[in-house]
A and B are shown apart, each in its own frame.
Chain A
Amino acid sequence: MSARRALADWFDERLGTRAINQALFARKIPGGVGWIYTLGSVSLFLFVLQAATGSFLAMNYAPTPDHAFDSVRFVTEEAPMGAIVRGLHVWGASAMVLVVALHMLRTFLTGSYKYPREATWVTGILLLLVVLGFGFTGYLLPWNEKAYWATQVGTTIAEQAPFVGPSIARVLRGGDELGAQTLTRFYALHVLLLPAVILLLVGFHLFAVVRQGISAPPTRREDLPADTTAARRTVRERYQAQKEAGASFYPYSLAKDAMAVLLVFAIVAALAWWYPPEVGDIADPTEASFNPRPEWYFLFLFQLLKYFPGYLESVAAVVLPSLAVLVLLALPFLDPRLRRHPLDRPVATGMSLAAVVALAWLTVAGARSPQVSPYVARPRQVEDGMRIARGLHCEHCHSVRGQGGLVGPDLALAKSAHDDEWMRAHFQNPQAVVPGSVMPAMGLLDSEIDGLIAYVDELRGGGPYSEQAARLTRRYCSECHRIAGRGGDKGADLSAIGDARTRSFIHRYIEDPKSLLTNSRMPAFLAPEGPLTHAQIEDIARYLAAQRSTASRGEPSGDGN
């Protein structure tokens, strides 16, 4: 007797492995089960992928508003392989929603939810809901603008529910406002509670699949007795016969499943590699110019809300989705007829296809709907510098446009005659550069100093501009815009534009106004469509950003800095 055989015997004697193997892998599968039947296995694989990548991502995640964003940024930009691991998780999540939805559609079209697989179907619908719950809670965790505003919209939708809405929203948020308690709540749901729930449901679902067997492909105009009990017996007997004539699960079905898994994994990995997940801008509740958009698989709901007037909003937001879920759960009981072929169920098939088309159409319309607010991602270093300045409480001694302390110079208006090198030396050791300065040396890291310099530059108008800047601006802008009292009135007065807009915004606006404000009447100025080069636009943008309502007006000197 070979050693392998002895080992198998050893395990079988103790654990009954042969019986398990027979029940799980050597069981017969009816013939004709094609590629669309691999979607369930692919869903299971994606769950494993999400669990594996998620466990590792949690090692470098801090679920608090002050560290969540930075920890996700650390994973994405600094941790070795972090971008690919997070990419697999992010793309895997989208793939999971898509594959689970397609799996449900297949089960519906082949009538597989019917007797005797009703329990499998019901757990399947619950699994779909849990997957969407994973998507909703996971989306908030990076704590960036997209995450924050999508969750803001999502929890406000819950608020629309009749009577209990406000209470549901409060429970979801863990308080009145989206904040620290929302984040820990979503985190705990995402990594502790929902995984436990999904494991139980997956276990039940798989047990039911093995117990009842994979449904055989439906036959057209199946001939069944009129009596329900007799018809059910016929269904059972026919299935038994088809099953016995079929092939073993391993390797005949499993090879197909494994190939489908390989294909889906290759797609997810390729997306993770070529389209790594973005980090975005840190969540900012005061930022009014962001266009909230949910993740693509909630876009249909987002879009649906636009078609309902205010007083009917709760219908679209809560009533319709709840009804849809209830109908799905009750489906096997609403339609107990046993014929399964999609063409034998024209109403059900037609309605499901209409629902698919409607969902797809709403999703596409939602994705294409214009972004009404102009939004420019803030330059990364400026953003960093602003946060460091806040952390160091610079405002205790310095003011920014009149707000703050008076010990040091105003950071926005100080006409600093210094270049970056001077600033760097000054941040490192103020007394060495300005003897007697009361500014403390703070032992700042080089990367922090880079951020602070970028921030102060942006406050000053985004850096020095050339002597041509004023002339260029007059030549190209004053036909429509007034600056310091001179110019046309077709456009806005730009005399104090620096108070309202940053250099980066102004630059992009001059390049292509319609990319920021779809209804803008201003032409694009960037060559070849427009007359200006990138460098000239940057020059004008810096000059305009320096146009402020107070001190900087009237002294448009530039490159002497």
Chain B
Amino acid sequence: MSQVSAGSEVVASRRQWLSRCFWSAVALVTAGIVGPLTGYFVGPLLRRRADTRVRLGAVSDFTADRPQRVEFVLRQRDGWVTEEGRHAAWVVRRGAEILVFDPRCTHLGCAYHWHAETSQFLCPCHDGLYDLEGRVVGGPPPRPLDTYAATVEGSDLLVVPTPRRRG
């Protein structure tokens, strides 16, 4: 009697041990596959785009307080493709400071233009209005115009055409 129960205990513990082996192996292999795949999948979070600087022209090309729209060709890498695309920016020279705006309204991304009579940027979609420094003065835009990081090297104006939010 006691022998039988001891035997069934051995069977039970062997069964338990094998179950543990099975689930441990499953866990290890799953982790070994899911780990790299997760890293690969969320890779875009880990990778930063290299910022390319573009020359927009000589500083002397721009008149103070008169916004100018500048078009430029940007060559940039998108994953495994190097693409050349036409882009634009608005350049405003305010004394020693130079502001470069992303050419899209912060409301819904329409292209705005400069209205010289009122000295305001006007977005044709929903009548968003910005002043010379890109601050919202009317309409639905939620925040001032986005800017590009601008630097002056020698006489050249260089920008990194990646929009940065203000305020």
Contacts and interface: CB of A to CB of B under 8 A. Distances in A.
Of A53, A80, A85, A269, most buried by chain B (CB within 10 Å of CB) is: A80
B19 A82 contact: no
Contacts of A252: 15, 18
B70 interface: no
Given A81-B43, A85-B40, A265 B79 contact: no
A-side interface mostly: helix
B37 to A, nearest CB: 5
B29 interface: yes
Contacts of B80: 60, 62, 67, 70-71, 73-74
Contact of B18 (A56, A251, A444): A251
Nearest to A55: B37
Contact of B43 (A45, A73, A79): A79
Interface in A29-78: 45, 49, 52-53, 56, 59-60, 62, 67, 70-71, 73-74, 78
A80 B43 contact: yes
B124 to A, nearest CB: 30
Interface residues of B, number: 33
A53 B32 contact: no
Contact of A265 (B29, B75, B77, B82): B29
B29 A45 contact: yes
B75 A82 contact: no
B46 to A, nearest CB: 5
A3 interface: no
A255 B22 contact: yes
Contacts of A73: 80
A81 B75 contact: no
B25 A262 contact: yes
Interface string B28-59: 11001100110111110011000010110000
Nearest to A48: B33
A261 B33 CA distance: 12
A88 interface: yes
Contacts of A59: 41
B82 A56 contact: no
Contacts of B77: 445
A142 B109 CA distance: 39
B40 A80 contact: yes
A444 B75 CA distance: 7
Given A251-B19, A255-B21, A84 B36 contact: yes
B42 to A, nearest CB: 8
A208 B29 CA distance: 27
Interface residues of A, number: 38
A67 B81 contact: yes
Nearest to A261: B29
A445 B52 CA distance: 8
B160 interface: no
Contacts of A85: 36-37, 40
Contacts of A442: 75
Contact of A52 (B28, B33, B73): B33
Interface string A246-271: 00001110110011011001000100
A383 to B, nearest CB: 15
Nearest to B43: A80
26 contacts: A52-B33, A56-B37, A56-B41, A70-B80, A71-B80, A74-B79, A74-B80, A80-B39, A81-B36, A81-B37, A81-B43, A82-B43, A250-B19, A251-B18, A251-B19, A251-B21, A255-B19, A255-B22, A259-B25, A262-B28, A265-B32, A265-B33, A443-B73, A443-B74, A445-B77, A448-B82
10 closest Cβ contacts across the A-B interface? A258-B25, A81-B39, A74-B80, A70-B80, A255-B18, A251-B18, A80-B43, A81-B40, A262-B25, A251-B19
Interface of B: 15, 18-19, 21-22, 25-26, 28-29, 32-33, 36-37, 39-43, 46-47, 52, 54-55, 73-77, 79-82, 84
Given A53-B33, A59-B41, A80-B39, 18 more contacts: A45-B29, A52-B33, A52-B37, A56-B41, A60-B79, A60-B80, A67-B80, A70-B80, A70-B81, A80-B40, A81-B40, A82-B40, A254-B22, A255-B25, A442-B75, A443-B75, A444-B75, A448-B75
